[in-house]
Structure 1
Amino acid sequence: MSGKRNPPVLWAQRKDKLFVTISVEDCKDPKVELDNEKLFFTGEGGAEKKAYEITIPFCKAIIPEESKQSLGARELYFVIKKKEEIWWPTLLKEQGKGKIHWLKTDFSKWRDEDDSDPEDVADDLNLNEMMTKMGGVGEGPEESEEDSDDESLPDLED
């Protein structure tokens, strides 16, 4: 055994793309390979600089040339273009019947096939904006504007 472990992976999808997040804090010089059928990642990260490695064989084909990636302080973000605009039943080619401990659904980005809206703002994902929001920076002015939520509430009656 190589001593490398699988990092936590989150995923969500739209009809035309996948959102994949690999969670490894302070990952320095990650190696990423994306081809028509899979995503490969290896790198070290976290407080103890543990070695991580994972190969994600996709359920269906993707277009690596039209896909994007961004390295954040805690995660690697991927927006991966699907070859066919269809909803995938699962992310992995051979999911099997057991639970995969390192793979979870990213409910913050998930949309079901029947409630997906073509005008959905999340479809036009801006990775820099997403990373800013994840870090809690740039969420709007806090000092100059008074928020209506700041008003005091009346006492509850017994």
Structure 2
Amino acid sequence: MTNETACPPPVLWAQNKEDVFLTFNVEAKDPDIKIEKSSVYFNGINVRDNKTYEVTIPLHDAVIPEQSNFVNKGRCIEMVLRKENVTGRFWSSLTNDKKKPHYLKIDFNKWCDEDDEEVEDAGALNLNEMLEAMGGDRGAGDKKPSFDDLESDSDDDNLPDLE
């Protein structure tokens, strides 16, 4: 191993009302991970290039370490942090720093906006009710639309046979 200094790994993050999701994009065999109330520590050696990655992320708000966990998926380490204050607002950022760290990016595959959460909480809308509310009885019952009021068109005439 070389005497290079450790650098922070690429980290993706997302959240919902109750949890914060972190993905450390490093293929680390036996990473050292510590989840504390106000921070997350990661230290691991990438199996591909033996490069050491290390970072301590100061969290925006408190989490519950006992209800948080992580799993090594081989190509990455995925972590779920349980927020301590689940009735509060979404975090404005992952860290409590004013400046965004260069290694941190949003995981849009897992991201959920506050507005999206409210829609899910409202329950699923019934499609028929929505169509009826939009006006008309389309799709309601067995009534079929009438096409008798359409005018005849020259396209309706018989076409000559193909040669």
TM-score with structure 1 length normalisation? 0.69
Name the structure 1 match of 2:11: 9
**Paired residues, number:** 117
- SS for the counterpart of 1:92 is coil
CA distance change for structure 1 residues 46 and 58 in 2, over 3 Å: closer, same or farther? same
Query: How many angstroms apart in 2 are the aligned matches of 1:82 and 1:111?
Result: 15
- Cα distance, 1:119 vs. partner? 8.9
Does the 8 Å contact 2:29/2:74 carry over to 1? Answer: no
State the shift of 1:100 in Å: 2.4
| 1:49 CA drift (Å) | 1.0
Aligned counterpart, 2:38: 37
Q: CA deviation at 1:95?
A: 3.2
Paired letter, 1:80: L
C-alpha RMSD of the superposition: 1.9
CA distance in 2, matches of 1:51, 1:109: 27
Q: CA deviation at 1:93?
A: 1.0
Secondary structure of 2:115's match? helix
Q: Which has the larger radius of gyration?
A: 2
Secondary structure at the counterpart of residue 108 of structure 2? coil
Query: Is 2:70 the partner of 1:93?
Result: no
| Matching residue of 1:23 | 25
Task: Note the C-alpha offset of 1:91.
Answer: 0.4
Q: Does the residue aligned with 1:29 lie in a helix, a strand or coil?
A: coil
Contact 2:29 2:47 in 1 (8 A): no
Q: Which runs of 5+ in 1 are unaligned?
A: 121-158
Counterpart CA distance in 1 for 2:114 and 2:41 is 27
Counting only pairs closer than 5 Å after superposition, residues 50-69 of structure 1 correspond to structure 2 as 50-69=51-70
Cα shift at 1:82: 0.2
Q: TM-score, normalised by structure 2?
A: 0.67
What is the CA distance between 1:55 and its match in structure 2? 0.4
Deviation at 1:46, TM superposition (A): 4.1
Query: Percent of counterpart pairs with the same letter?
Result: 38
Change (3 A) 1:112 1:66: same
Going by fraction, where is strand more abundant, 1 or 2? 1
CA deviation profile, 1:2-37 (whole Å, cap 9, x unmatched): 610110000000011100000102x12110011100
Equivalent-residue separation in structure 1 for 2:121 and 2:64 (angstroms): 20
